[in-house]
């Protein structure tokens, strides 16, 4: 395929997403307009100017639907409404207009694997008898034992605890995640049709695209005799025939979705959250007949290491080329420890993503965190990432260099992983603490009356207000990088220039280069005009753990 040239916001064409910078908003923690401690849609509207100044091309909004918040909103009661605590459909329309007026697109999260247990259909399923059409929309099974008192299988949910829960009449329902998140039966025609209605509902309201939650789980095949957890774990995931994950027929669902996306002009876009292995299996999610793009979480699982980054960049550019899509990059989101903190903790061998677990469990005491090094590395890694071809997904607060909050008291915790994995996992609340907008005041400018998760004292020093006007701040670095990226953006190709083992030197068309020094000592600074640097650069050398953008006369 030809190489599309996409200049970010300037490009109004169907390919706008290919090299977009997408900013993830976790709505309950972004800005609270009515002072009830919970972020809301009018809060986002009030910050449209901030998002435009930051220079993002699109916003991805995590779930804002009515929800009891058993899983941060990923337990949806009604897919075609707004949680009254966050606003109304009218507020949604005002918000999307405010974003569009600033040239910012809107992607919304869609959660098709499961609804909440408060969804009308699940209530109907509980009220209806075994074998009814109402139960067929979910995954019900008879229990084992004489009266069905034993679970149909010994499976564990993703949040810990059993994946099957009894409903009192000998039947059990499947929930791969929390008890409050019953899995849909995607063989049911009503389920399939209803999601198409939902996609049209939001597309008609002007939504530009969808982030598809757990996209690899929808298609399931449950034989009469269910395998045990151990047997399930031993099943090959590369063949597309695993009973629960990444089955080939999931792509029939997305082919239907694609037809809906293509009813619109420009076509609506989608990005799959698909944790698949081997990685080449991502390509079908990312194909033009499917969702069109898929997250690549490799950077979020890697240490700050030149060799690891080089391998990841090379592999993912190849994979993207195979699928015809563009690649995606992400360091942080609402599910993982913020990268400014991850990089300040000692490396954790082949489990880098778990590196913060022990630290979180100890309330931030051990191992010792080097916050300054973490931020220095995060800035260097981000500046390299923003020079790569493909789209960049940023998570709210990373532009402030926010770190993970470790010392959240147990009584304030919200994440189901905390409750379902006692002593093993404290959960994801530490990256969901409300954003500090001002240096002081109640909830640091988040709202007028507290924050639904407690903010630490140090948040004030990292607030937008504290960084505004400081050219060395992380906020300034992100703003400068996004503005320059828009100017320099070019074809989706990359060349490697020769460099030492601790240095990565990439070249884009038009004389845009990025040089990242991952090492502990200085490296030679290649020829060229320094456009931007992740830290102080003086005297012709590239300091340790620093990235620069250069312009050369190509
Ligand atoms: C995705 C979401 C995560 C959620 C899970 C279940 O992984 O990113 O936050 O808990 O799906 O919906
Ligand atoms: Ca509010």
Q: What distance lies between CA 48 and its chain's CA centroid?
A: 20
What is the pLDDT averaged over residues 389-403? 98
What is the pLDDT averaged over residues 466-493? 97
Asked if the model's pLDDT at residue 7 lies above 50, the reply is no
1 versus 468: the higher-pLDDT residue is 468
DSSP 238-254: TTS--SSSS-TTHHHHH
Asked if the model's pLDDT at residue 6 lies above 80, the reply is no
Asked if the model's pLDDT at residue 267 lies above 60, the reply is yes
Determine the pLDDT at residue 3. 42
Among 98, 82, 102, 97, smallest CA distance to 46 is for 98
* DSSP secondary structure letter of residue 310: H
Determine the pLDDT at residue 396. 98
Give residue 106 CA to ligand 2 midpoint distance, Å. Answer: 20
- Does residue 26 line the site of ligand 1, with CB under 6 A? no
Q: Which ligand is nearest to the CA of 216?
A: 1
Residues making up the chain, counted from first to last: 554
What is the pLDDT averaged over residues 467-472? 97
Strand partners of residue 140: 173
- Does residue 177 line the site of ligand 1, with CB under 6 A? yes
What is the pLDDT averaged over residues 381-403? 98
* Best residue among 63, 65, 67, 71 to mutate for probing ligand 1, ranked by most atoms within 8 Å of CB: 71
What tens digit of pLDDT does each residue of 18-66 get? Answer: 999 999 999 999 999 999 999 999 999 999 999 999 999 999 999 999 9
What tens digit of pLDDT does each residue of 66-103 get? Answer: 999 999 999 999 999 999 999 999 999 999 999 999 99
Among 171, 139, 137, 130, smallest CA distance to 157 is for 139
What tens digit of pLDDT does each residue of 423-446 get? Answer: 888 999 999 999 999 999 999 999
422 versus 380: the higher-pLDDT residue is 380
Residue 92: strand, helix, or coil? helix
- Does residue 75 line the site of ligand 1, with CB under 6 A? no
Asked if the model's pLDDT at residue 356 lies above 90, the reply is no
Q: Whose CA is nearest to atom 4 of ligand 1?
A: 74
- Range name among 129-143, 287-301, 338-352, 494-508 with the lowest pLDDT average: 338-352
Asked if the model's pLDDT at residue 500 lies above 90, the reply is yes
Peptide bond connecting 367 to the previous residue in cis, omega within 30 degrees of 0? yes
Residues around the ion ligand 2 (C-beta < 5 A)? 32, 34, 36, 38, 40
Determine the pLDDT at residue 145. 97
What is the pLDDT averaged over residues 354-366? 88
Mean pLDDT of the chain: 95
**Residue numbers annotated as active site:** 213, 263
Rounded to an integer, what distance in angstroms lies between the CA atom of residue 485 and that of residue 475? 15
- Does residue 74 line the site of ligand 1, with CB under 6 A? yes
419 versus 351: the higher-pLDDT residue is 419
Sort 198 into a burial class: Cβ within 10 Å, 0-12 / 13-18 / 19+: buried
């Amino acid at each position: 395929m030809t190489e599309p040239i996409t200049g970010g916001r300037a490009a109004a064409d169907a390919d706008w997403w290919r090299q977009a910078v997408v900013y993830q908003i976790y709505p309950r923690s972004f800005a609270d307009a009515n002072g009830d401690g919970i972020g809301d849609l009018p809060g986002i509207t009030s910050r449209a100017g901030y998002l435009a100044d930051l220079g993002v091309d699109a916003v991805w909004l995590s779930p804002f639907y009515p929800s009891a918040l058993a899983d941060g909103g990923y337990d949806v009661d009604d897919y075609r409404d707004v949680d009254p605590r966050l606003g109304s459909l009218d507020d949604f329309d005002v918000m999307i207009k405010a974003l569009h007026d600033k040239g910012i697109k809107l992607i919304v999260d869609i959660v098709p694997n499961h609804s909440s247990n408060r969804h009308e259909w699940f209530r109907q399923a509980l009220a209806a008898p075994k074998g009814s059409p109402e139960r067929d929309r979910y995954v019900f099974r008879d229990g084992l034992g004489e009266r069905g008192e034993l679970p149909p299988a010994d499976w564990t949910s993703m949040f810990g605890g059993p994946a099957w829960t009894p409903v009192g009449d000998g039947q059990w329902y499947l929930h791969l995640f929390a008890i409050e998140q019953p899995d849909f039966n995607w063989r049911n025609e009503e389920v399939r049709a209803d999601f198409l209605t939902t996609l049209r509902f939001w597309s008609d309201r002007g939504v530009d695209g969808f982030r598809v939650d757990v996209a690899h789980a929808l298609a399931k095949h449950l034989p009469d005799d269910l395998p045990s957890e151990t047997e399930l774990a031993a099943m090959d995931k590369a063949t597309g025939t695993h009973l629960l994950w990444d089955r080939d027929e999931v792509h029939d669902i997305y082919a239907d979705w694609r037809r809906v996306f293509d009813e619109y002009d420009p076509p609506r876009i989608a990005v799959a959250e698909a944790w698949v292995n081997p990685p080449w299996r991502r390509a079908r999610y990312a194909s033009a007949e499917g969702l069109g793009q898929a997250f690549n979480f490799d950077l979020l699982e890697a240490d700050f290491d030149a060799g690891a980054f080089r391998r990841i960049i090379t592999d993912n550019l190849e994979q993207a080329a195979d699928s015809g899509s563009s690649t995606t990059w992400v360091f942080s989101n609402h599910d993982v420890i913020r990268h400014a903190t991850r990089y300040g903790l000692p490396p954790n061998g082949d489990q880098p993503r778990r590196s913060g677990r022990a630290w979180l469990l100890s309330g931030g005491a051990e191992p010792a965190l080097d916050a300054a090094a973490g931020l220095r590395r995060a800035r260097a890694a981000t500046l390299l990432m923003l020079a790569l071809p493909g789209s960049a997904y940023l998570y709210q607060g990373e532009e402030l260099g926010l770190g993970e909050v470790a010392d959240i008291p147990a009584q304030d915790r919200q994440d189901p992983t905390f409750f379902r994995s006692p002593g093993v996992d404290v959960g994801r609340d530490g990256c969901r603490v409300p954003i500090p907008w001002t240096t002081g005041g109640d909830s640091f400018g988040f709202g007028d009356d507290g924050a639904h998760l407690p903010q630490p004292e140090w948040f004030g020093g990292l607030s937008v207000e504290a960084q505004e006007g400081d050219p060395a701040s992380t906020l300034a670095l992100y703003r400068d990088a996004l503005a320059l990226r828009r100017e320099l953006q070019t074809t989706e190709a990359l060349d490697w220039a020769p460099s030492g083992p601790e240095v990565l030197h990439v070249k884009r068309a038009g004389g845009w280069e990025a040089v990242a020094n991952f090492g502990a000592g200085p490296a030679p600074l290649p020829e060229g005009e320094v456009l931007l640097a992740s830290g102080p650069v003086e005297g012709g050398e590239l300091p340790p753990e620093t990235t620069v953008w250069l312009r050369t006369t190509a």
